[in-house]
Amino acid sequence: MTTKGPFRKQVIVLMSKFNINNILALANKHVTNINRTLKNIKSNVTVNFIYLDNSGITIVSNLIAS
């Protein structure tokens, strides 16, 4: 699910609690890997941070990927 507000754009990824804990344990490495991959495909999108939300993991970026 993609949401868009006046000050931020975010993608909410729904997943189980077990997977959420695994991803958050290494969130900084995931952000680095996602940004490296986006740079390799010459995308203008960069991930700013990942945080736990009540509906899953929220990935906040500078742009919404289409």
Tens-place pLDDT, residues 3-58: 555 556 666 677 787 877 887 788 888 888 888 998 899 888 888 888 777 767 77
Model pTM? 0.58
Domain enclosing residue 48, as ranges? 2-61
| 44, part of any domain | yes
| 41, part of any domain | yes
pLDDT tens, position by position, 2-16: 555 555 666 667 778
Q: State the sign of the Cα–Cα–Cα–Cα dihedral 59, 33, 14, 23.
A: negative
- Domain count for the chain: 1
Q: Where are the alpha helices (DSSP H) in the chain?
A: 17-25, 27-40
Q: How many residues are recorded in the chain?
A: 66
| 66, part of any domain | no
